[in-house]
Structure 1
Amino acid sequence: MTTQNSSGIVRSSELTRFRLAPNPGPMSLAGTNSYLISAPGAEGRVAVDPGPLDEPHLQALAGDGPVELILITHRHADHTAAAARFSELTGAPVRAADPAHCHGAAPLLDGETIWAAGTEIRVLATPGHTGDSLCFHLPKDGTHGSVLTGDTILGSGTTVLDYPDGTLRDYLESLDRLERLGPATVLPAHGPVLPALDTVARAYRGHRQGRLDQVRAALVALGAEATVAAVTDAVYADVDPSVRRAAELSVAAQLDYLRG
């Protein structure tokens, strides 16, 4: 589903559309996907991750129809910077796992079911990328449902673990949880829509296990007390300088996991 209207809002599934925010970069890929959820015939919308503070982007999202609720997948600024302004613009409350990012409403709870915009939204705690990361499961979105995965699963590439807030142990458990949802459509906050969440979750787990094997080998070569920088040099030798810090965070998370 790739139809786009004049405001740049693109159909991504039966119940969702998104607008790409103008914030491309090494970590945000083409930019942040700000989603709108609504069932056919529903008057209201649920917005997810309004993104950076860019007024034309927010005006386009608000102009699609009444927004009754704003949800946040996690604390990073490319998802939350516009939340207060978008709440002001639409009159809708903002809910997130972290109370610091809520405006006019209570924090979201793991396992909570929200009924809004004519459909059911299930809240899933999926820590790992950050400690407060959430995914939103839309069980009625098409044959197998869909999941807005935030940065827990991306449309391309792999996810950074924002250690020590995000840990590998939590992340692997979150992948297990997402895999159990079956072949749901993946609606990521960055990159293209993907089919079959269970398949993607298994691939992500395989990638992490492969990296762990590389880190283990580096520790054998460098010594058990090797530094994060030294292991990063060995495992991510060809990494672009623009994402070196992200690589070091992932190595720190892997070392923490192995040293347990």
Structure 2
Amino acid sequence: MKKIYILAVALVAFAFTGTSQIIEDDMDFYDNAIDISSQSPTFDNWSGTSGTTEDGFTTDVIAIGIKSLLIGNNATSDVILQAGNQNGGQYTFSFDYYVADGATGFYGLMETNDTGTPVFTLTFYPNQGGAGVDEIRVGTGVVGTFDMPKDTWVKMTHLIDLDADTIVVLMDGVEIYNDAYGSTLFGAVDLWSVDGSCENYFDNFFLDEGILATESFDAKGFVTSMRNGQLTLSANEVIDTVAIYNMLGQEVYNSKLGATSAIINMSSYANGTYIVRASINGTVGSIKVIK
């Protein structure tokens, strides 16, 4: 039976510092006419040299917001998403993924961003070889299959624990893989035009240091709402503490609540995305809010 997860990133204080690299990119502000590696240090291509057929470009033809990253059917596009060469720790990596009907696809998780001697930990092949089978591989061996809808967006989430050597992969919140990760390193993600039938779109990349909150946190009924700069929190049980972080990892609020609900005045805070971290009867979890 497929297992459905409720996701929340359980952060610790200063989780955004040190070697952790946060990625949150909706792809909407790039110039479609310029290769993406020339516009952002988050992206590179396989050879490390822009102006080649490996270059990737954004498009506004298919996107969740305004634009997405297209890896098309030239069989040479090969974009590297830099994940910060993480060594140990727990990470949540996600993105929205669209594979055109009848097209093939590929992305691969890599130990480091060294493309000279690349080591892949896990690779994904939607519609592998055009045969209609969506494969997950370690090396050349198939270790799992999944049923990916085509011509629609799905959310791919990867919960990587480098210390415990585990990875859980979710598609739209449903587990499709749960096994050993195979390394203590996570350095990059390869987005490659695997063949002449490839047509892949990527959007809303997100990488953060943190772990999957247990399902017991969801049972606490923790919900938030934002209106006119006022953040309302509520839960089924007493909320012990609340901390709020901006996307630079800076703690902007911390309080002991000792109540099942509270209103926090955020009217003076800058507009943007924040992480709200709550401890409820010993269970910790976090969710994003937008002001």
**Between structures 1 and 2, the one with greater strand share:** 2
Bigger-Rg structure (1/2): 2
**Between structures 1 and 2, the one with greater helix share:** 1
Identify whether the pair has TM-score above 0.5, normalized to the shorter chain: no
Q: Which has the higher contact order (CA 8 A, sep 6+)?
A: 2
Normalising by structure 2, we get a TM-score of 0.28
Normalising by structure 1, we get a TM-score of 0.31
